[in-house]
Amino acid sequence: MASFLEKLECTVAENRSLLCIGLDPDLTRMPERFSRDPDPVFAFNRSIIDATADLVCAYKPNIAFYEALGIDGLQALKKTIAYVPQGIPVILDAKRGDIGSTAQAYARAAFEYWRADAVTVNPLLGYDAVEPFLTYADRGVLLLCRTSNPGASDFQGLPCPDRPLYLVVAEKALEWNTAGNVGLVMGATYPRELALVREIAPDLWFLVPGVGSQGGDLQAALRAGLDARGAGLIVNVSRQVIYAADPRTAAQGLRDALNKIRDEMMAAPSGQGVANRRPEGQRETLVRELQRIGAVRFGDFTLKSGAPSPIYLDLRLLASHPDVLAQVARAYVQVLERLEYHRLAAIPYAALPIGTAVALETGRPLIYPRREAKEYGTRKVIEGEFRPGETAVVLDDVITTGASKVEALSSLKEAGLQVQDVVVLIDREQGGKASLERRGYRLHAVMTITEMVEALSREGLITGDQRAAVLHYLGRTG
């Protein structure tokens, strides 16, 4: 018997499809002709399967719809799974999750009695509740990660402690995937989170509910979640197909829409398509979050220098949003991996929480130059422990002219530290980089203000006028 992944890969290729149809029967919504059948649920499912078997990558019956009908419903489920053509995988949507002995019984039921190829599992009870499913190495285990329902944010987005719970689940999925049979359930209604999890788990298959009646955007979900091959997603649609006037036409339209988006992404120029999008995807995800919390704003502002600006950056807000602060810290870490240093040196005040988060990510000690020397106690100019001769890399939130960086760099050098590199989140592109280079320092920015604005524009999160105003402000056109 072929494994779940073997079936899935083969069907995706043969049917050229990432479409999964949810077989969720509701007697009140079925066409009247099925009510006259002695086994209406099975007859209805059979008609859907007959009409769509060459258009799908999988079928997904949700066990709740069958349990609600009692013994007759469960018998219909058994017949439905047996009726699906042998090469097409069946995902039993059961969302099981319980203590070890109970989980063993659930696993036997899903894989030995119902004969499902995969099952959805709630991982919140931990490894011992998931492990009985994982022992069936030829079957798929799809862990709930970031689900499509509105209440998903109640728990799945909570920090644990430095990143959301759903990211911890994704990391555990990779850890538990020793047999190569683990996937994740990722709702299409949360494309930002979908992109983040794809970065963590580039090769896992994701079951993606939420397109259609739940409001998930198909293009956004594919853009966020397709893997480097243009696959990796099992896009589930239920009511939009099974209760359509013509289920085959509805399924074919969705399959073709999926393929059109896939083809466009795979054919995109280097740096824009699926295979080359990872760094860009990380940047765009982070930029969306910065705008969401109000750290990036557009309008008419007056800067500290008195100059007008069409954009305002307030990264002090990161301290109130630990989930976004953690993302920012990881972005800094990617830059720091290329540098040699002993200590981090954060410039007060906006960079202090950033520096602390980066220190926690890297395990490197943090120091910071005071804006003014203490007039009491130790009268320190530099807070924290260090030894003269050590190398420090300076962290700040943004750079404009570079004046504040020069002051901090001077303090650190006077204390005997070796300093050459400065890392910021955003370069405002107003001479700061050149100013530092003239003094022998190197600037490393996670992104420029132009890259940030262009990312927001591509995502449709700012207007054309807002983009044009910033580019004009920077002396650019386009």
Choose, from 7, 95, 374, 433, the residue flagged as catalytic.
95
Which residues partner with 186 through β-bridges? 146
Distance CA 245, CA 251 (A): 11
Residue 68, SS3?
coil
Which residues partner with 382 through β-bridges? 369
Instruction: Specify the residue for token string 């301290």.
Output: 319
Distance CA 120, CA 96 (A): 7
**How many Å separate Cα 465 from the centre of its chain?**
29
**In terms of DSSP bridges, do strands 343-346 and 308-313 run parallel, antiparallel, or are they unpaired?**
unpaired
Distance CA 372, CA 381 (A): 7
Is 95 a known active-site residue? yes
Distance CA 303, CA 314 (A): 11
Distance CA 51, CA 19 (A): 14
Distance CA 199, CA 202 (A): 6
Instruction: Specify the residue for token string 């220190």.
Output: 359
Strands (E), 161-313: 182-186, 206-208, 233-237, 296-302, 308-313
Instruction: Assess whether the previous peptide bond of 269 is cis (omega < 30° from 0).
Output: no
- Amino acid (1-letter code) at residue 454: E
> Which residues are within 8 A (CB) of 295 and not within 5 positions of it... i.e. 6 or more apart?
313, 314, 315, 317, 318, 324
**In terms of DSSP bridges, do strands 382-383 and 366-369 run parallel, antiparallel, or are they unpaired?**
antiparallel
Distance CA 404, CA 304 (A): 13
Half-sphere exposure of 114 (CA within 13 A, CB side): 28
Strands (E), 211-365: 233-237, 296-302, 308-313, 343-346
CA dihedral 257, 258, 263, 265 (to 10 degrees): 110
The residues annotated as belonging to the active site are: 95
